[in-house]
Amino acid sequence: MTTFQGSLVALVTPFHDGRIDEPKVRELVEFHVKHGTDTLIPCGTTGESPTLSHDEHKHMVELVVEAAAGRIPVVAGTGSNSTTEAIDLTRHAERAGARGALVVNPYYNKPTQEGLYRHFRAVAESVAIPILVYNIQSRTAINVETDTLARLARDAKNVVGVKEASGSLDQMSQVIAACGPEFSVLSGDDNVTLPLMAIGGRGVVSVIANIVPREIVEMTHAALDGDWKRARELHYRLFPLARAAFLETNPIPIKEAMAMAGMLEPEFRLPMCRMSDANRERLRRVLEPYGLVR
């Protein structure tokens, strides 16, 4: 089963006049292939998946897989608060050629731990591709507890890892200890990638790698190789950017940053909207030392 590690990029969804900007999607895929990104993840939180229709969601996955053309693995975001919908999206991702699926906690309906276990197991058993659980209580109102993850890792052999967005190194340590070294624990927050890797994490599902992909690859690979001095240097170099990416709700800052760098149009779908003028100026000041503002 595939081991996911290094820099997995939570890909933005570029829009033009309210529609997915297909040429720009292809351009972004080429950008990541060129800069050595390990894995692309379309249709996650950063990809504004809550405002994509199911048809658009499936089309975006197909578009990224087609553009990647086997040169870089694609893990599709396929989660839902409906198990039936999550299974449908995950089966589609498998048919489209995705190498895995990132499945977020069911949101809003607040299932019990038993319900979470049954949900993720049902999704995993519906496909042969590997599954990454996406644990983000701040957006879903529920935490996948360590015991639940350990059950899934034991009972569903294609549940191979977790995107841990709790920000809690204590919880991440518990998961690594309970699920074993083959289970990929990935940071869901750029600012704690290196601390997590120091305790056995395998990498990051990165937001800022949308704009600095090579640096995130270098940092995570340095950590995987045990070059902690180089990894620390890159961590502190990138730390201001990692913090600035959350001046407002993700993906607003990263898309604004990419627009400042001339990479795409700063277009969102409501209820996501443009950044405030004050925060846009703060973001610009952070970006300037990296040479990212055109």
Cα 262 to chain centroid distance, Å, stands at 22
Taking the domains of the chain in order of start, what are their residue ranges?
A: 6-224
**pTM of the predicted protein model:** 0.96
What values do phi and psi take at 70, rounded to 5?
A: 80, 0
Dihedral angle computed from the Cα positions of residues 287, 288, 291 and 294, in that order, rounded to the nearest 10 degrees: 90
58 catalytically annotated: no
**Of residues 163, 229, 236, 290, which has the active-site annotation?**
163
Residue 3 is predicted with a pLDDT of 77
Predicted pLDDT of residue 294: 85
Give the pLDDT confidence score for residue 7 in this predicted structure.
Answer: 98
Helix, strand counts (H, E) of the chain:
12, 10
Within 10 angstroms of residue 190's Cβ, the number of other Cβ atoms is 25
Query: Can you list the residues of the chain whose pLDDT is less than 70?
Result: 1-2
Q: What pLDDT score does 2 carry?
A: 61
Q: Which listed CATH number (3.30.70.3190, 3.40.720.10, 3.20.20.70, 3.40.50.300) goes with 6-224?
A: 3.20.20.70
What is the chain's Cα-based Rg?
18
CB-based contacts of 243: which residues, under 8 Å, 6+ apart?
191, 286
Residues β-bridged to residue 187:
164, 204
Catalytic residue list contains 134: yes
Q: What is the pLDDT, as a whole number, of residue 103?
A: 98
Q: Which of 24, 110, 117, 134 is catalytic?
A: 134
C-beta of residue 160 within 8 angstroms of C-beta of residue 130: yes
pLDDT of res. 279? 98
